[in-house]
Amino acid sequence: MKIYEHQAKKIFARYNIPVPEGEVACSPEEVQQAASRLDCPVTLKAQVLVGGRGKAGGIKFADNPEEARRLAEELFALEIKDLPVESLLVEEKLTIEEELYLGLTIDRSAKRPVLMLSTEGGVDIEEVAAETPDKIISSHLEPGQKFELYQARELISRLDIPSSLLNKLSQLLINLYRLYQEKDAQIAEINPLALTADGLCAADAKLVIDEDALFRQQEFEADGEELPYVELEGTVGCIVNGAGLAMSTMDTLLHLGGEPANFLDIGGGASAEVMARALSKVSCHPEVRSIFINILGGITRCDEVARGILQSIEEVEVPVVVRLRGTNEEEGSELLRENNLEVEKSMTAATEKAISAAKEWA
C-alpha cells in the first residue's frame, strides 16, 4: 500500500530522520495561509500516489504567500497520470548543496532486503542503474539480524562524501532500516536526501507498506487519509480489496456490458471504518447508479466489511450489490441478510446484477 509523501514524512520524523517543516493544504487559500505561517520561500508538492510528478509539473516554488496561492491554483487544476491533485504539501524550500539517494526494498530473487546508496540523488534509481551503475552501492541485509552501526559506516565510507558526514549519515541509515522493519515496508526511500548548510534533510520520502501486514499497521487505516481512488465515467461504482481484483472487476464489468464509475481499493485487512468511508466516497459520485462491492477475504475479514457497509448504507441512495468470499464469509453474509441486503458468491452473477441495477435506476 502506497502512502502519501506527507504521511511518510511524519513517520520519518518519528524515527529521527530530518524532514522540512511543512503543512498539507487542500485549497489555494489554505496554501497561502500555510506559506504565511512558514514565513519563508516554499516548495509546493502535489500529493498523488504515482511517481514522475516533477516531470509532470507537480512541484513548484514560491517566494511569498501570494505567489504560492497563484501557483497552487495551477497545481490543483492538474491531473498527473490521470490522478487529480486534491492536496498539496507546502514546506520550506531547501537550499541544497548536494543530493544523495538512500533506499531499502526487497530483492525477491535473493529473498532479502537490499540497501542502496548513491551520490546521484534526485534521479530515478532505475536511471542511475542503467546509465552509471558504478555510482550505486548496494548490500543485502539479513532480516533476522540487527543492522549495526559499523556496517552502516563501512557502506557509507564507500561513497564520495565528506568524512564529516559519516557519523550522521550512518545513524540516519540505521534509523531508516529500523523504520523499514517496524513498519513492514516494501520500499523505504529518500530521494533526494539533501545536504544543506544545516545538515542532512529528507527532501522527499517514499514509503510502501506490505498490505499483508496491515493488521499490524493500524495507523495507516485509522488516520482518515484518502483511499486510493480514481474517478471514471461509468455508472457502476466499484469497491474492491486489492488492485488486482479491482482491475479484474472492471474488466468483467466492461466485458458484460457495464462501465465502472471509479477505481477504489480498500487494501488488505481493511477495517469496518475504512469500508464505511469507501462506501460514502463512492456514493458521492454524481454518475453512480449502482455500487458493486467485491471482496475476496484473506486478511480482510468479510464480517468487518459487512459492519462497514451497515455503518454507511443509510446514506446511499442507489442499489448496492455485495459479493463476499473468504475469511468469515458466512458471518459477514448473515449480518447483511439480517439487514435485508442480498449477498452473491458468483462474481459473474454479482457483476450482472450490478449492471442491471444501474440500468434500472437510470
**Radius of gyration from C-alpha coordinates of the chain:** 23
Least confident of 35-39, 44-48, 222-226: 222-226
Show the cell assigned to 274: 475504512
- 3-class secondary structure, 35: helix
CA distance 360 to 350: 15
Give strand pairing partners of 285: none
Query: Tell me, what amino acid is at 19?
Result: V
**Per-residue pLDDT averaged across 18-26, rounded?**
94
CA distance 276 to 62: 38
Which residues are known catalytic residues? Answer: 101, 189
**Per-residue pLDDT averaged across 214-229, rounded?**
64
- 3-class secondary structure, 288: coil
Q: Contact at 8 Å (CB) between 189 and 206?
A: yes
Q: Where are the domains of the chain?
A: 21-92, 98-209, 221-357
Least confident of 3-7, 46-50, 129-133, 147-151: 129-133
Class of domain 21-92: alpha beta
Average pLDDT, the chain: 90
Cell 552501492 belongs to residue: 137
> pLDDT per residue over 294-330, tens digit each?
999 888 899 999 999 998 898 888 999 999 999 999 9
Cell 481484483 belongs to residue: 245
CATH of domain 98-209: 3.30.470.20
Model confidence at 350, pLDDT cuts 50, 70, 90, reads: very high
- Region of 211 (left: φ > 0; alpha: ψ -120 to 50; beta: rest) is alpha
Cell 448504507 belongs to residue: 313
Cell 548543496 belongs to residue: 97
Q: Give which of 5, 7, 100, 2 is closest to 43, Cα–Cα.
A: 5
pLDDT of 347: 93
Whether the model clears a pTM of 0.75, i.e. scores above it, the answer is no
pLDDT of 213: 77
CATH architecture of the domain 221-357 equals 3-Layer(aba) Sandwich (3.40)
CA dihedral sign of residues 310, 315, 320, 325: negative
In this structure, the dihedral spanned by the alpha carbons of residues 233, 284, 84 and 106, taken in order and rounded to 10 degrees, is: -100
DSSP string of 131-144?
Answer: H-GGGEEEEE--TT
CA distance 319 to 287: 13
pLDDT of 71: 98
> pLDDT per residue over 56-90, tens digit each?
999 999 999 999 999 999 999 998 887 889 899 99
pLDDT of 177: 95
